[in-house]
Amino acid sequence: MHLMSGMISKFAWCSALVTIVALLIFAVWLLPTQAQLERLRKPKQDNEAVKGDDAPMGVIPAGEFWMGIDGTIGLEDERPRHKVWLDTFSIDLYEVTTNRYAKFLAATGRTPPWLWDSVKLAIHGERPVVGVDWEDADAYCRWAGKRLPAEAEWEKAARGTDERLYPWGNQPPTGDLANFAVGARFSYSQALMPVGRYKEGKSPFGLYDMAGNVWEWVQDWYDGAYYERGPDRNPTGPEEGQFKVLRGGAWSELPKYLLAYGRFKLLPNTRNSYTGFRCAKS
């Protein structure tokens, strides 16, 4: 009996030891797995979101430039020519592409833009996104840790400080300088060109497609008389309005709409095949 009792006790002790070892092994396996799950469940912070947009930017130095135009050349809302001071800012070298916008959609779950079902990223990934309204553009720039450029910032980045008519100078647009006057029905493949294609059409600060390809949303509300009463230092447009300003012209436009001082306006909830954007940062 004593022998049998000893064997039972030894067996029970061995069983307990095996159980303890098994629990330890399970815990070692489970903890890293739980930690990974927690990281996946944790919402992304802003600094993680910024990593989704590594778009190259150009730095525009602080200083004055002449905005608008005088005489009978410009339209009424492009006058008068006036001097504006801007602090240093950065702005994307390229219009926001479908590749970059796709990352934003995946990260935020935002409703895709108009015509998104026709996008094939393998083919159209380096073409500018279109079909975005002003709020879409604003949301993307905020997600990327940036903002939409002010209208004055956009014009300085496009014209520089020598009052040129177009980003590349005063020469009228040609097919080597910009994507415009495309006489085709819209498709990502036929109407739009990959960003950065027109190297001869760069602005003085090295920005691409500041004329043609797509109109670009900017931060400002539209006011046809704003140049007459706006501040001469870091203007950001009226506090409210009905329309938002766009700049730069598009694939569908005639040369006169590619002028670097030209202004255009649309309702902020407009989505179409010729409007995109780029972002800026203070």
Judge if the upstream peptide bond of residue 149 is cis by omega within 30 degrees of 0.
no
The token duo for 2 is: 């004593």
Place of tokens 């006169």: 256
In whole angstroms, give the CA distance from residue 282 to residue 87: 8
Low-confidence ranges of the chain (pLDDT < 50): 1-14, 16-51
* pLDDT number for residue 34: 37
Distances (CA, A) of 163 to 44, 73, 87, 90, 191: 44, 13, 18, 20, 29
* pLDDT number for residue 15: 52
* pLDDT number for residue 80: 95
What does the domain layout of the chain look like in residue ranges? 1-42, 46-281
In whole angstroms, give the CA distance from residue 231 to residue 267: 24
Burial class (CB within 10 angstroms; exposed 0-12, middle 13-18, buried 19+) of 62? exposed
The token duo for 276 is: 């995109």
pTM of the model: 0.82
In whole angstroms, give the CA distance from residue 277 to residue 153: 14
- CATH superfamily for 46-281 is paralog of FGE (formylglycine-generating enzyme) (3.90.1580.10)
